[in-house]
Structure 1
Amino acid sequence: MSTSTRRQVHDAMSRLGYVRRRAPRGVSARRSDQLIAAVVCESPQRLFTEPFYARLLAAADDTLAGHGVPMMIMTATPNTSTITAPPLVAGTVDGILLIGARERHPLMVTLAASGVPIRSIGRLPDGLEMPYVDMDNRDGGRQAAEHLLLAGRRAIAAIGGPPGLPGACDRLEGFLQTLAKAGMTNVPVAYGDFTHASGGHAMQWLLGRIPHLDAVFAGSDTMAAAAIQTLKRAGRRVPDDVAVIGYDDAPIARHTNPPLTTIRQPIEELTSVAVRLLLMATATGETPANNPILPTELVIRDSA
């Protein structure tokens, strides 16, 4: 942890009046009435409209139910973190499943200071040391780039996810680094926020920048689906004129026209692993040292 981040953590501890909770010697920290909080660093609107969160939270609830542990769901944007933090660090919950942690989110520093067992789904922003489980997002980006290169595509662009989200950055970096190794630099990139609208706007911007592009990689299937629609409205055929690759292998990937080539990430398995590691920490008071990285897989359909 960097010096500046460590200072922020200590400041948060002082503001909260936090005293690290320790179980009596020889007494298990796990209670029969324990409660796990799933904290999503998004607005409620995004929580209820993005299929990714539905899959993830359903998997978390299934795994916890198998252990007889209930789950509460909270959202926390930077603007609401001051009201979200107190119940999380005051002993109300026994563990926190953190979802969608982003850079410069004030809740991250508060939770790092809390001493409550935490497991993040997704790598944490640089400078924060919390246990996590993640996908191999860089390798997912690599697989997408290699597929396009092997198909002979040369005017390639990308639609990245939110720059402050480590997983989105890793996908894009893996993609761009692979293209750079093949001699392709200065690849145009437009950014979205994983929503359908942002994918359409990003694709429109890219078409204005490189009208004759022949391939695009999008950091989510939702943005890729919007890109396909935008390309069609511009008179571009997919994949004849422009190949499109998404990311997630969400249900929408099988229902686009044409069906979407994408990078599959094992969301249910990832969530199950994160929950089990979190329960181990609440039971023993010791956080397992490993941060598992699960593999991603290219799923080839008709769009690329």
Structure 2
Amino acid sequence: MNTRPPTLEEVAQRAGVSTGTVSRVINNARHVSAKARRAVEIAIAELGYVPNTAARSLATQRRGAVVLAISSDDPALFANLFFAEVITGVNAVIEETDLQLMLVLAASERGRARLARVLQSRGVDGVMLLALKENDPLSKMTEESGLPTVHGGRSLDRTPQWYVDADNRGGARSAVEHLISSGRKNIGTITGELDTHAGTSRYLGFREAVVLAGLSDQRVAHGDFSEASGAAGMKLLLDDHPDLDAVFVASDAMATGALAVLQEHGKRVPEDVAVVGFNDIVTAKHTQPALTTVRQPIEALGREMTRMLVRLLNGEQPTSLILPTELVIRDSA
């Protein structure tokens, strides 16, 4: 006999509403239609749902806001389509709730101080962290605050309790295996930042694939996920390894820079040098040639982070997620 108590999601499904609506009804919040309120009340009665009293107590003291803190103070951040898509996903879920979204760029001392003030004043109910680096002070700061916190990705020095990440290592490995299966032997890589989990995981995926195939893993240039660093890395690889016939680039932005340099050097893509990127941002299909890349569900990353945080605020215990990646084959490899 199953004696497991019903969950918030089951009440929402029975009532035909969102979990946020159920939470608002339970907490006597405003802005709930009479029809939705009645449907939730019926579902609660039919399922015998008992609200988490501790969570309900916390809910009555809520500020009605969450913060997305990004470990970057780059003024060009919003030109980076990866972050733009993540924020789109975050906002899509926020719009289903009564929560307000606060965005903080928190890599500089000033940005971290701003976030610290928000946390110390309990100006928000929960936190989402993105683009953390090794030993990033934001992790310790949010941990000390005691606020529910969800990480977008993982950091190298610790695995947080709640996170949403993509299969960076497996995705990189599939990209390089594709290059190998097409007959490429002299394969290089332009890495992302190796003090990030994503950068290191994609580099390890590259190394695994070439080493298992009996190929060299020494054709390496280091970047920082930006288009400029991709161009610089591509120049370095061409200078140091004139026999290069393929390159796995750890982000589409860097791959765009690499393609421009290959064109400047008279290299045909993919005939002379095949190129594979990572992310599948919206511009990947519009490069010349169209970029073969590893698709990670970027917007879904933002949505799932936010859903996980909402569940925490509702007193639930969600499970961390690793989202699958997919190789998208176009013209560059």
Aligned partner of 1:10 in structure 2 is none
Aligned to 1:120, what secondary structure does the other structure show?
A: strand
Instruction: Specify the alignment match of 1:303 in structure 2.
Output: 332
The 1:109/1:215 distance shift into structure 2, 3 A limit, reads: same
Q: 1:33-112 alignment to 2 at 5 Å?
A: 33-80=63-110, 81-112=112-143
In the other structure, the counterpart of 1:200 is 231
> Following TM superposition, by how much is the alpha carbon of 1:142 offset from its aligned partner in structure 2, in angstroms?
1.0
Pairing of 1:78-157 with structure 2 (within 5 A): 78-80=108-110, 81-127=112-158, 129-157=160-188
What is the rounded CA distance, in whole Å, between the counterparts of 2:57 and 2:77 in structure 1?
34
The reply on whether 1:212 has 2:205 as its aligned counterpart is no
Q: Which runs of 5+ in 1 are unaligned?
A: 1-22
2:293 equivalent in structure 1: 262
d(CA) in 1 for partners of 2:219, 2:264: 21
Measured in 2, the distance between the counterparts of 1:33 and 1:114 equals 15
Counterparts of 2:56 and 2:187 in 1: how far apart (Å)?
Answer: 59
- Helix, strand or coil for the counterpart of 2:293? strand
Of 255, 268, 273 in structure 2, the residue corresponding to residue 242 of structure 1 is: 273
**1:26 and 1:240 mapped to 2: Cα distance?**
60
- For the residues of structure 2 that align with 1:26 and 1:224, how far apart are their CA atoms? 46
Alpha-carbon deviations, 1:34-79, whole Å to 9, x = none? 1010111111414222111111111101111112322111100143
- 1:238-290 Cα offsets, whole Å, 9 max, x none, are 00000000001111211110000000001122221111111111121x542x2
Q: Distance in 2 between matches of 1:210 and 1:141?
A: 21
Cα offset for 1:207?
0.6
TM-score normalised by length of structure 2 = 0.80
2:321 paired with 1:292: yes
Match of 2:31 in 1: none
Please give the per-residue CA displacement for 1:202-260, whole angstroms capped at 9, x wherever unaligned. 10011111012000011110110110110111111000000000001111211110000
Structure 2: runs of 5 or more not aligned: 1-51
Change (3 A) 1:26 1:270: closer
Identity, % of aligned positions:
38
- The question of whether the paired residues in 1 share the 8 Å contact of 2:291 and 2:332 is answered with yes
CA distance in 1, matches of 2:199, 2:161: 19
Report the structure number with the largest CA radius of gyration.
2
Residue identity in the other structure for 1:48: F
Following superposition, the deviation at residue 27 of structure 1 comes to 3.7
The CA distance in 1 between the partners of 2:256 and 2:322, in whole Å, is: 27
> How many residue pairs get matched?
280
Which deviates the most, 99-108 or 50-59? Answer: 99-108
| Coordinate RMSD, CA, aligned | 1.8
d(CA) in 2 for partners of 1:147 and 1:75? Answer: 37
Q: What TM-score do you get using the length of structure 1 for normalisation?
A: 0.87
Q: How far apart in 1 are the matches of 2:204 and 2:173?
A: 9
SS of the residue 1:59 aligns to: helix
Give structure 1 regions of 4+ aligned residues with deviation exceeding 6 angstroms. Answer: none
Deviation string, structure 1 residues 6-56 (Cα, Å, up to 9, x no partner): xxxxxxxxxxxxxxxxx9857432247510101111114142221111111
Q: Deviations over 1:181-210 (max 9, x none)?
A: 111233321111111111100100111110
Task: Quote the residue 1:17 is aligned against.
Answer: none
Q: Aligned partners of 2:270 and 2:158: how far apart in 1? A: 41
Pick one of 34, 45, 59 that aligns with 1:30. 59
Q: Deviations over 1:90-117 (max 9, x none)?
A: 3100011111111132222111221110
Choose from 233, 238, 248 the match for 2:264: 233
Alpha-carbon separation, structure 1, partners of 2:140 and 2:103: 20
* Cα distance change of structure 1 residues 25 and 135 upon mapping to structure 2, 3 Å threshold: closer
Contact 2:64 2:98 in 1 (8 A): no
> What is the one-letter code of the residue matched to 1:64?
I
Q: Within 2, Cα distance between the matches of 1:90 and 1:130?
A: 24
1:197/1:44 CA distance change after superposition, 3 Å: closer
Paired with 2:54 and 2:137, the residues of 1 have a C-alpha distance of 33
Q: Secondary structure at the match of 1:42?
A: coil
Match of 1:278 in 2: 309
Gap change, CA 1:85 and 1:241, over 3 Å in 2:
same
